[in-house]
Chain A
Amino acid sequence: MLYREAGDFSTTYPQDSQTFPIKFDRYRYYAVLAIAFGIIPFVINDYWANAVFVPFLIYAIAAIGLNILTGYCGQVSLGTGAFMAVGAYSCYKLMTAFPEVSMLIHIPLSGLITAGVVTLFGLPSLRIKGFYLAVATLAAQFFLVWLFNKVGWFYNYSASGQISAPERDVFGIIVTGPNTEAWAKYLICLLFVTACALAARNLTRGMTGRSWMAIRDMDIAAEIIGVNPLKAKLTAFAVSGFFVGIAGALFFSVYLGAAEVGESFGIDKSFLVLFMIIIGGLGSIFGSFAGAAFMVLLPVFLKNVFVGGLGWPTDLAAHLQFIVSGGLIVMFLILEPHGLAQLWRIAKEKLRLWPFPH
């Protein structure tokens, strides 16, 4: 009843091939955009921006990137952390080398550089598959972290070995550095998230996306029906790298402001993003958002309940937090192996029939 496809007639080709062909989806999408752009920036404060929204948005981009590689193309990667570091360090080098250029150019450029690096590390995927590939991407993880730590050029030979984001603006609005307003941080991330999500959605609906999915489902069969595995796999690595690079650049410049490669872009990050797409749902853009929201909000929520609400000692709360998040992840996998996105699909099915279940 509430959610229905009936009565929604497409009379032109553009109408039929628009991003959200179903009316309800479209309106929901407009509503989300309206709230995200029109309301939240006016009410957001430092805490909500830094603890919830900015990390959520940035992780959503990274999750979309990894979802393209893992969810759509079936190539498991455990190198996301290091690939984000590539984005972060290229962004840092660009910001310090060309201070007058807008961040709106630096960030996509960092994405492009990352895409190149990730494609390079994607080359073994043509030969190695499954878990062997996953573990092989760990080579990228450890090597890149070591490289950024060792070669002084990457951090401009600073004595501390850390990179810190200088103040840069977009059309006169400061978006990096300590004096950034909460809403400016939020909006720049939102801008990139919207662009990335739209691009990803349309890529996955088209020829490229279909060839990725063919490779995922059975690469030999895909090759036989004429999908070029070299092209499909490497484009997936490149596109994924582009998104992950953007996420890394934003993560460093807008969210953290200062970073050290081993600590901020370690292997934990790779696992975290992988968790997001599994919990959210493999092969779903919505799932990437849901997973990111879940993994960002869960610890904050649990902490507030245990420490703020129940007044427990922080260490007990932190241990319990581990237990609860681990338990929840396992529970989720058991109850709904296809992630939050599948729950959403089921909800839509129910809504279609509601209030007449038969």
Chain B
Amino acid sequence: MPDQLLFAMEVTLNGLMAGVLYALVALGFVLIYKASGIFNYAQGVMALFSAMTLVGIMDGQIPFAHLINAMFGTDLHHFGWHVPALAAILLTVVVMVVFAWLVQVVIFRHLVNQEPILLFMATIGLAYFLEGFGDLMWGAEIKKLDVGLPQGINDWIDLTTFETFGYGFFIDNLDISATIVAVILVAGLIVFSQYTKQGRALRAVADDHQAALSVGISLNYIWVLVWSVAGFVALIAGIMWGAKSGVQFSLSLIALKALPVLMLGGFTSIPGAIVGGLIIGVGEKLFEFLIGPMVGGATENWFAYVLALLFLVFRPQGLFGEKIIERV
């Protein structure tokens, strides 16, 4: 096979993998939007915050050490213990549940029935708050995150493809594990929403708030639940992205990578987030590979959005979004 074709195949495969990573971030948005109509811009910062908390717990960092030291002149840094990854993940989930509960009680309970744009702004305010809070709590330096996921080129794929095509494909082990995790996560979410009581209640709320209220579903409870699940998804996304770049402020910017995925897939559809992620991943990688060199490269950021925009012109509610019905 000609080299260009092989290269394109490799790029496509990697695009699919990148798409899975985008979809992981997008999932968190979809969950919250579906259940409460809130477009949660803070999802990216939640990923950052949860990853910071995870690293902090694993390394036994003392929260707010810098603040305490500055106030009392002490010299505290670490508790001096190391928590195994799995236990730390569980503890982080607990933190995210508490966070979800606080968000619901302090903020969104007071904003029920407000316009969507106000809710959106409130989440941006929340994002600012959480950025400052996370830095204050765990410090602003770059932290290495290692929960034991394999990273680097997958030798088996490299060898097999080399023997078949004469060119070894590069697939990152981390991406493979991300794909597996994403599949489990989506399967888990589907089982949860189809077969558990809470999941059914969640779907009822997503369909119609008032009808759900009238059959005795507690909106507050469901919202705390959905924010917790979104926090968990954020943690997974934070682990995957944090493994690549270390845990640092820029992790919060992955939200921007998820927005075109949402547009394309529709704000309300979980399969949409996955398919949208794959389309965006492959689309932007192929565009960068084929057209990028002609226009000077670095096209991925805007191309994802333009691609999503093109789709929207034909389907204004996204590929899998609920049909928008407007009545006067």
Contacts and interface: CB of A to CB of B under 8 A. Distances in A.
Contacts of B238: none
Contacts of B107: 330, 334
Contacts of A105: none
Interface in B287-328: 295-296, 298-299, 301-302, 305-306, 308-309, 312-313, 316-318, 324, 326-328
A327 B125 CA distance: 7
Most chain A CB atoms below 10 A, which of B130, B132, B267: B132
Contacts of B328: 218, 220-221, 224
Interface residues of A, number: 49
B318 A132 contact: yes
B116 A323 contact: no
A36 interface: no
A334 B313 contact: no
Interface residues on B, range: 35 or more
B66 A316 contact: yes
A221 B120 CA distance: 25
B313 A326 contact: no
Nearest to A150: B296
B214 interface: no
Most chain A CB atoms below 10 A, which of B107, B122, B309: B309
A136 B312 contact: yes
A191 B125 CA distance: 33
Given A139-B306, A316-B136, A333 B263 contact: no
A271 B98 CA distance: 28
B127 interface: yes
Most chain A CB atoms below 10 A, which of B260, B263, B317, B326: B263
A272 to B, nearest CB: 10
Contact of A329 (B121, B136, B301, B305): B121
Contacts of B132: 318-324, 326
A143 B302 contact: yes
B317 A132 contact: yes
Contacts of A131: 39, 116, 120, 267
A127 B312 contact: yes
A217 to B, nearest CB: 11
B312 A128 contact: yes
Contact of B114 (A145, A315, A337): A337
Given A127-B313, A129-B324, A271 B124 contact: yes
A183 B139 CA distance: 42
Nearest to A279: B121
Contact of A139 (B117, B118, B124, B309): B309
B162 interface: no
A135 B125 CA distance: 18
Chain B interface secondary structure, helix, strand, loop or mixed?
helix
Contacts of A218: 328
A313 B140 CA distance: 14
A70 to B, nearest CB: 8
Contacts of A57: none
B110 interface: yes
A325 interface: yes
B118 A333 contact: yes
Contact of A142 (B295, B305, B312, B324): B305
B121 A275 contact: yes
A141 B259 CA distance: 13
Contacts of B156: none
B278 interface: no
A76 B306 CA distance: 17
Interface string B85-103: 0000000000000000000
Contacts of A327: 125, 129
Given A224-B328, A322-B132, A146 B318 contact: no
B34 to A, nearest CB: 13
12 contacts: A136-B263, A136-B305, A136-B309, A136-B312, A139-B306, A139-B308, A141-B305, A145-B302, A278-B117, A323-B132, A326-B127, A330-B107
Interface of A: 70, 76, 124, 127-132, 135-136, 138-139, 141-143, 145-146, 150, 218, 220-221, 224, 267, 271, 274-275, 278, 282, 312-313, 315-316, 318-330, 333-334, 337
